[in-house]
Structure 1
């Protein structure tokens, strides 16, 4: 009986893992990092602000409509955010009387200077132009120079004269058959341009060519 029973196994020592175990430390660091990253994503998401954007392409010169605007979320920093119109801001009371000052693509944010009243315009000038004497794809918002050459019955050797420069197209019109020719009536915004009576008469009676300019 003094001898240890051969079938008795020695008790195993319980090993206590210390917190300094590299694998344990690595796991803790990964968990903390993931938590911090998740918190940062949430904070950044909360930094987004609602701005007005255009729902579809709008050409410069077109009237601004409420249907042109759609709210969108964006996160802009510093001065960039101040340049665009926030949804929380009050829209101009005369929104329907404003016109787009630049071409904007669908989804573009609306800057504070993206529209204007056009109050300085001196009027609208309709001109009848034969097909072939204006860009085929001329559209609202394009800028054109107005050249007038000799009209029917006038000497063909008379030089063409530029009557106006950089006028914005408000309405590109539709092709119409007039006698033997096909014409389009284009409506131009005079802006700050002033035309004298004889100039308007010459444009109406002469042969008009519209040259698109940058």
Structure 2
């Protein structure tokens, strides 16, 4: 009697390879879904903001991101209550559109005593394209033609431009513009006011 051959499909290499491919695809898909579930909605900036600007709902947009546990506490989840109403908050630092909102960048208006200091800035003593929101260092020293060995000194660091005025004739006859800068009251000492009023002011934009 001829021996009868038995076909055993589970030993077919093609079947085994197919099963492994399906299994691998299933595992990969499960991992991708699990990774997507790890994302959390955080607040990001929908537009650029400058220090001292009031916080508005129009500034914010919710985005889904995945952050490590080491840095996640630094940012503000979209489902978390703000410490105060938005109209009682202001931005404490410059932020670019699309960047995540750090907790430290939101500051209560009531906690910050601030003033606007006017500076008379001669033509050529500031960037030509100086604009509201720019951060500048304020240097004061002898003006052009002054006979003095004194060196210019930086009296204010990284203060925000509130407004730039039109050019007008200064006391010395040269063109100058009045520039308003936002300063904390702790920075605004009597010596600062006297120095900017009597010296040649130069504004250096900082990043």
Instruction: Pick the structure with more helix per residue.
Output: 2
Instruction: Pick the structure with more strand per residue.
Output: 2
Unaligned runs of 5+ in 1: 1-12
Tell me which stretches of 4 or more aligned residues in structure 1 moved more than 4 Å: none
Aligned positions, number: 197
> 2:121–2:201: 8 Å Cα contact kept in structure 1?
yes
CA distance change for structure 1 residues 89 and 48 in 2, over 3 Å: closer, same or farther? same
Following superposition, the deviation at residue 42 of structure 1 comes to 1.5
CA distance change for structure 1 residues 117 and 128 in 2, over 3 Å: closer, same or farther? farther
- What does residue 138 of structure 1 align with? 130
TM-score (norm 2): 0.78
Unaligned runs of 5+ in 2: none
* 2:140 maps to 1:147: yes
- What does residue 168 of structure 2 align with? 178
**RMSD of the TM alignment (CA)?**
2.9
Q: In structure 1, how many angstroms separate the alpha carbons of the residues matched to 2:115 and 2:17?
A: 74
> 1:125–1:190: 8 Å Cα contact kept in structure 2?
no
Following superposition, the deviation at residue 120 of structure 1 comes to 4.4
- What does residue 38 of structure 2 align with? 47
Q: In structure 2, how many angstroms separate the alpha carbons of the residues matched to 1:33 and 1:82?
A: 35
> 2:140–2:195: 8 Å Cα contact kept in structure 1?
no
CA distance change for structure 1 residues 89 and 36 in 2, over 3 Å: closer, same or farther? same
TM-score (norm 1): 0.76
> 1:144–1:169: 8 Å Cα contact kept in structure 2?
no
Describe the superposition over 1:54-100 as per-residue Cα deviations: whole angstroms up to 9, x where unpaired: 00222334332221110111111212222210011012324334333
The equivalences for 1:64-213 within 5 A come to 64-117=55-108, 119-121=111-113, 123-139=115-131, 140-149=133-142, 156-158=146-148, 159=150, 162=153, 164-174=155-165, 176-179=166-169, 181-190=175-184, 192-196=186-190, 199-213=192-206
Higher alpha-carbon Rg: 1
Following superposition, the deviation at residue 170 of structure 1 comes to 3.9
Q: In structure 2, how many angstroms separate the alpha carbons of the residues matched to 1:84 and 1:54?
A: 12
> 1:171–1:188: 8 Å Cα contact kept in structure 2?
yes
